[in-house]
């Protein structure tokens, strides 16, 4: 559906300029397939950027999570601990492999997985004599999780971490890129992410064998024979050479995009510093967010709800979005075990994401800020 010309989108794609050169190269070489220089180059360049040994370029972040679970041997009868405050694409792959999600609440500072709730879940499962096969850890809106505390817990129980860093490419915890702490890290390159391949994702790891296993599974798990021979179930998850060309161009401007996104957040805070009802999603010391989306919660006691604010913004052609609706409240996952203190329930009830495009002009930000201020004063 088309929108008015003055419509301000939440997080639109932002091209860097050289994407079409890589796409044209693919056309010139006639590599219009899931192989070619762009796919290989994108994988190498992404691995180099993040500082890991290997990367697999895939059709989506969801596919990358699915393959990470399979590569770690997660299957029927297993449990996977997972952040409850997330998009459904984090939990669905657990069910793809016929495992069971166990949902872990957030803590109020980063909005990410709560180490205390995680420890409670581990103690419970240890008493029952069955630990989870993996932890699916989500870094929301580009904000790092409390990695030191979380890793201390998972190391103590011998459980690997899959980092769902779909929203967090370019973010760092104590100077180290997110996606590189766990056994596997996953990124999304959907059209609204900090960089895009139009649709796509990647799995990264310092374990080349794990990445190779995922890449093999992504190409229908064809055995190394001259004819089509299969001993394992595979998938059609490999990124196309065209999409990877977009990704290579986007990677060239990633650091610039991170700075632009961070400036958008800082500008909102400055423009709206007089609106006392807003509580911004701030970085603790040592946490470096790519600020994929600029988010806040509305102070308790305010007469304005996030939904009322969202509708007021939409009425003047400004897109905004509620925070994620927790998985333990979703009809699809309500029956899953949950550990926590309902922190994510409260965040959802009070939170909103503002337009955060890296190409958002200052005048458009002023327009958004004026609309927010007017909504609180009316």
At 138, list the tokens: 């989500």
Residues of CATH 3.40.640.10 domain(s) within the chain? 19-253
pLDDT computed for residue 348 by the predictor: 98
pLDDT computed for residue 1 by the predictor: 60
DSSP one-letter code for 106: B
Whether 284 contacts 226, CB under 8 Å: no
What is the average pLDDT across 220-233?
Answer: 95
Whether 169 contacts 193, CB under 8 Å: yes
What is the average pLDDT across 65-93?
Answer: 98
Q: Given the DSSP bridges, would you call strands 287-288 and 201-205 parallel, antiparallel or unpaired?
A: unpaired
pTM strictly above 0.85: yes
d(CA 319, CA 316): 9
pLDDT above 80 for 210: yes
pLDDT computed for residue 378 by the predictor: 81
pLDDT digits (tens, 9 = 90+) for 297-350: 999 999 999 999 999 999 999 999 999 999 999 999 999 999 999 999 999 999
Looking at every residue in the chain, the average pLDDT score rounds to 97
pLDDT digits (tens, 9 = 90+) for 82-96: 999 999 999 999 999
The CATH class given to the 255-377 domain equals: alpha beta
| Closest among 162, 194, 193 to 179, alpha carbons compared | 162
**pLDDT-based confidence at residue 69 (cuts at 50, 70, 90):** very high
Please, what is the angle between helix 115-127 and helix 147-157, to 10°? 10
What is the average pLDDT across 49-60?
Answer: 98
Place of tokens 């996030």: 306
- Could you tell me which CATH number the domain at 19-253 has? 3.40.640.10
Report the percent of the chain where pLDDT is more than 90.
Answer: 98
Residues of CATH 3.90.1150.10 domain(s) within the chain? 255-377
pLDDT digits (tens, 9 = 90+) for 137-154: 999 999 999 999 999 999
Residue 196, CA atoms < 13 Å, CB-side half-sphere: 15
Q: Which residues are catalytic?
A: 193
| Closest among 88, 84, 116 to 346, alpha carbons compared | 84
pLDDT computed for residue 2 by the predictor: 76
pLDDT above 80 for 79: yes
pLDDT above 80 for 224: yes
């Amino acid at each position: 559906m088309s929108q008015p010309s003055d419509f301000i989108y939440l997080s639109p794609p932002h091209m860097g300029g050289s994407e079409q050169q890589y796409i044209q190269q693919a056309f010139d070489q006639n590599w219009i397939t899931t192989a070619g220089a762009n796919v290989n180059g994108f994988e190498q360049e992404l691995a180099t950027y993040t500082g890991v040994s290997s990367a697999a370029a895939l059709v989506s972040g969801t596919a990358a999570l699915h393959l990470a679970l399979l590569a770690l041997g997660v299957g029927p009868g297993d449990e996977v601990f997972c952040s409850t405050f997330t998009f459904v694409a984090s939990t669905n792959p657990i069910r793809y492999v016929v495992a069971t999600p166990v949902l872990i609440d957030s803590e109020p500072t980063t909005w990410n997985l709560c180490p205390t709730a995680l420890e409670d879940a581990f103690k419970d499962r240890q008493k029952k004599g069955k630990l989870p096969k993996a932890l699916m850890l989500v870094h929301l809106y580009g904000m790092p999780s409390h990695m030191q505390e979380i890793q201390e817990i998972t190391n103590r129980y011998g459980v690997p971490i899959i980092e769902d860093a779909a929203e967090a490419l370019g973010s760092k915890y104590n100077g180290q890129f997110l996606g590189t702490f766990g056994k596997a890290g996953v990124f999304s390159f959907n059209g609204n992410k900090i960089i895009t391949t139009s649709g796509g994702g990647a799995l990264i790891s310092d374990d080349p064998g794990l990445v190779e296993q995922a890449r093999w599974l992504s190409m229908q798990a064809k055995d190394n024979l001259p004819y089509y021979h299969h001993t394992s179930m595979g998938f059609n998850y490999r990124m196309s050479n065209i999409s990877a060309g977009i990704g290579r161009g986007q990677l060239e401007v990633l650091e610039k995009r991170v700075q632009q996104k961070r400036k958008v957040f800082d500008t909102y805070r400055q423009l709206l510093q007089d609106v006392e009802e807003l509580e911004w999603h701030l970085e603790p010391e040592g946490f470096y967010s790519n600020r994929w989306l600029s988010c806040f919660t509305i102070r308790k006691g305010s007469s304005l709800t996030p939904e009322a604010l969202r509708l007021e913004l939409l009425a003047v052609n400004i897109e905004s979005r509620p925070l994620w609706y927790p998985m333990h409240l979703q009809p699809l996952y309500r029956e899953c075990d949950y550990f926590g203190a309902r922190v994510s329930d409260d965040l959802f009830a009070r939170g909103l994401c503002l337009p955060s495009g890296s190409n958002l002009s200052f005048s458009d930000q002023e327009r958004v800020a004026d609309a927010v201020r007017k909504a609180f004063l009316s």
